A and B are shown apart, each in its own frame.
Chain A
Amino acid sequence: MALSDYHYEMSHCHRCSYCKFIPFQLIKSKRFSYLCPSITLRNFHSFSAGGRAALGLAIAEGRLDQYTEMMKQIVFECTMCGACQVQCRTFNFNLNPIEVMQALRTHFVEQGEIVPEHMFVIEGLKREDNVFGEPKKHRGDWAEGLGLKDISREKVDVLLHVGCRMSFDDEFWSVLKMAVEIMQCSGLSVGIAGSEESCCGGRALEMGFEGVFNTFAEAMAGRVKASGAKQVVTLCADCYGTFQEHYPSHGWGLDAEVVHITQFISHLIDQGKLKFKNKIPLSVTYHDPCHLGRRGEPGVQWKGEYKRLAPHLFGPVPEKPIRLGRNGCYDAPRDILQAIPGVELTEMERTREYSWCCGAGGGVLEAFEEMAEKTAHERLLEAEATGAQALVTACPWCERNFRDTLDSSGGSLKIYDIVELVHQAMGGE
């Protein structure tokens, strides 16, 4: 939908500032009461969902005859974590700030108001099918010698979609290998697309390049269909969220169930196919990746408009599904952590739908270093406040950003991918 299609939503923002905080029912302390990384960093109301809606409205109504660098910053210096979407409903049930912000980005891109770093990501993506512009042919290098099935040659039960980050950031290759080992406990045939895998397109969409996203989504859908897989498993929350939310909401379906590795593992534990031999005496806290949690909630394509239901009473016709992030993947990782002997889980103040973002998403890591780092730092402080020894998460983007931030800020907190703990508990090396 174009920006102007969100006129009703943009013009009904209450300006109540709820989009900046976690729901006031749930605030546990002043220190961790904010939930929007943007407003926390930049302070101008413009950098909140409400501010962005007003900016979108001004543009849609032709009140602005120019685009400025500041406006671009307002629109793009946001991790698209979706926290505002969860909060916003307090005073108005008709608003969808994250959709408005997505439309705003797409509009800016259409207008050529592009963040240069994003443009180069997209250029690389178009050339090499990954967000780093790395040579496509190396995409499957991590799997060398693992004997995984190639979906272009044979049909598989499970397609492991690795995603750009894990494919090209070799620090994660060991995690991938562990994941493969764990997945093989299932007895199912697991395949990969190897060098022919391409980006899910989620980053492109959230950077505002909807056309590019559609191209990748179409390719992805074709690839999954051709593989014959019943399940697509991913270790990357970004990919997971893209498949769960963005694909359906843009009319793309995957002919397979999309499963995050934590859900896959959790299921293996339930089935008794995965047993833990080792005790891991570790106190941990778990970070909900936004795109696994609130933005991992299944999306729905809505085609309708706001109509007058009665005098002064307008509403979406047909009813627009209300998305509050509650149906994201929250329990599987927690179930796993609780199943691992010795691991003690302490929750942070902001969890589940109200998780504070890691700072890597929505094109921020690529273009807005300060925000990526400060946002991660805030989360690390919150994790430290729980007294846990380690921060566990389930997304390579979060991990990357946490690790880099920890490197520069210092601190004794350890960062784990949940797969590492599972593998260790299984008795792996």
Chain B
Amino acid sequence: MHVIVCMKQAPDPEGPRDAFFINTQDTRVEPRGIPPALSLFDENALEAALRIKDADKENVKITVLCAGKKVSGAVLLKALAAGADSAVMVQGQGLEMENQDSFSSAGLLAAAVAKIGPFDLILTGRQSADSNAGQTGILLAGLLGVPAVSLAQKVSPDKEHVLVERVIQGGCEKLKVPLPCLAVVGNEAGELRYPAMKERRLAKNKPVLDWSMEAMGLDVAPDKKVVLRKLFAPTTRSRQCRFITGAMLAQVLREDQII
């Protein structure tokens, strides 16, 4: 079984806010002091894939697909160390978040998937850590003409189908979808495992393909429908913490008409 996990790299969202320097002139975010990281959402997707592989180590092969203006090999190594078998990176000018929308991203990924070859299952994260759009997975499925399920917290394939647990309000529903298909994985799928030293070393020998846009047969980034107009800093409220005792808490909140 061949599982492709689409993983995006974006500046580490857990970095401090001032690390996201906004270049208003060029409408671009320039990270300061923080590395790119695998999108945490996509780490959930990889974890879901690894759990499938856990169940059938011999037959499940995981390919990580990572597209962007610039893909960090070191960062991608984390996915390989965690257990992916190989990686494909697609790099090229114009592939930065500020220049892309979900349609163009999906188009690029679709081309890459076609070049990778046959697959049984594609997993993506719920959304990217940069644009936070949350559409690419479903659009990609559409372009590939395969069914898609989103908000998956558990993905269990058999030979012809995949059983997906999808999060719904107050619970979940189990959906059965024929293969090949795509599942958009939610954070409920769990945190990506932490690779041991040995796996980190082995990961360096795993195959990584580096495709340029030219190799993809794409001259420029595909058309897009959503256009970024400006970027600005969020307004944050400054808070002054008033320290009180537990016994006083209810009283104080009431006095201040919080409750």
A321 to B72, CA, bound (A): 36
* A110 surroundings in chain B (CB, below 8 A): 11, 30-36
Taking each of B9, B33, B77, B200, which has the highest tally of chain A beta carbons within 10 Å of its own beta carbon?
B33
Contact B77 A209 (CB under 8 A): no
Partner of B33, one of A117, A123, A211: A211
Partner of B75, one of A114, A126, A127, A210: A114
B118 interface residue per 8 A CB criterion: no
B108 interface residue per 8 A CB criterion: no
A64 to chain B, nearest CB (A): 13
Contact A111 B70 (CB under 8 A): yes
B77 to chain A, nearest CB (A): 5
Looking at the complex, which of B13-21, B138-146, B168-176 is the stretch in contact with chain A? B13-21
The 5 A-B residue pairs with the shortest CB-CB distance, nearest first, are A112-B72, A210-B33, A211-B15, A211-B34, A114-B74
Known contacts being A111-B70, A112-B72, is A119 close to B33, with CB within 8 Å?
A: no
Contact A112 B200 (CB under 8 A): no
Residues of B73-105 at the interface with A, using a CB-CB cut-off of 8 Å, are 73-75, 77-78, 81
Q: Residue on A with the closest CB to B17?
A: A211
A122 to B36, CA, bound (A): 12
Q: Could you mark each residue 1-40 of chain A with 1 if its beta carbon is under 8 Å from any beta carbon of chain B, else 0?
A: 0100000000000000000000000000000000000000
A94 interface residue per 8 A CB criterion: no
* A120 surroundings in chain B (CB, below 8 A): 78, 81, 195, 200
* B14 surroundings in chain A (CB, below 8 A): 126, 215
23 sample A-B contacts, Cβ–Cβ < 8 Å, listed by A number: A2-B32, A106-B33, A109-B33, A109-B34, A110-B32, A110-B34, A110-B36, A112-B36, A113-B72, A114-B74, A114-B75, A116-B204, A118-B74, A119-B77, A120-B195, A126-B14, A127-B194, A133-B194, A209-B35, A211-B19, A211-B34, A212-B34, A215-B14
A285 interface residue per 8 A CB criterion: no
Partner of B70, one of A112, A115, A122: A112
Taking each of A116, A123, A127, which has the highest tally of chain B beta carbons within 10 Å of its own beta carbon?
A116
Contact B35 A112 (CB under 8 A): yes
A85 interface residue per 8 A CB criterion: no
* A208 surroundings in chain B (CB, below 8 A): 35
Contact A214 B194 (CB under 8 A): no
Contact B78 A211 (CB under 8 A): no
Known contacts being A119-B78, A211-B16, A211-B19, is A114 close to B34, with CB within 8 Å?
A: no
* B71 surroundings in chain A (CB, below 8 A): 112
Q: What count of chain B residues pass the 8 Å CB interface test?
A: 28
A106 to B12, CA, bound (A): 13
A212 to B19, CA, bound (A): 10
Contact B31 A123 (CB under 8 A): no
A210 to B21, CA, bound (A): 14
Q: Could you mark each residue 87-115 of chain A with 1 if its beta carbon is under 8 Å from any beta carbon of chain B, else 0?
A: 00000000000000000001001111111
* B200 surroundings in chain A (CB, below 8 A): 116-117, 120
Contact B34 A210 (CB under 8 A): yes
Known contacts being A111-B70, A211-B12, A215-B16, is A116 close to B33, with CB within 8 Å?
A: no
Taking each of B194, B195, B203, which has the highest tally of chain A beta carbons within 10 Å of its own beta carbon?
B194
Known contacts being A113-B72, A133-B194, is A209 close to B33, with CB within 8 Å?
A: yes
B74 to chain A, nearest CB (A): 4
A126 to B13, CA, bound (A): 13
Contact A114 B16 (CB under 8 A): no
A127 to B35, CA, bound (A): 16
A113 to B36, CA, bound (A): 9
A61 to chain B, nearest CB (A): 16
Partner of A109, one of B9, B30, B35, B73: B35
Q: Could you mark each residue 185-223 of chain B with 1 if its beta carbon is under 8 Å from any beta carbon of chain A, else 0?
A: 000000000110000100110000000000000000000
Q: Residue on A with the closest CB to B70?
A: A112
B143 to chain A, nearest CB (A): 27
Q: Could you mark each residue 46-89 of chain A with 1 if its beta carbon is under 8 Å from any beta carbon of chain B, else 0?
A: 00000000000000000000000000000000000000000000
A73 to chain B, nearest CB (A): 13
Contact B70 A214 (CB under 8 A): no
Partner of B72, one of A114, A123, A133, A211: A114
* B15 surroundings in chain A (CB, below 8 A): 211-212, 215
* A115 surroundings in chain B (CB, below 8 A): 74
Contact B74 A112 (CB under 8 A): yes
Q: Residue on A with the closest CB to B76?
A: A112
* A210 surroundings in chain B (CB, below 8 A): 19, 32-34
Contact A119 B16 (CB under 8 A): no
Q: Residue on B with the closest CB to A1?
A: B32
* A118 surroundings in chain B (CB, below 8 A): 74
A6 to chain B, nearest CB (A): 14
A210 to B16, CA, bound (A): 10
B87 to chain A, nearest CB (A): 13
A260 to chain B, nearest CB (A): 27
Partner of B9, one of A112, A124, A126: A112
* A117 surroundings in chain B (CB, below 8 A): 200
A125 to chain B, nearest CB (A): 12
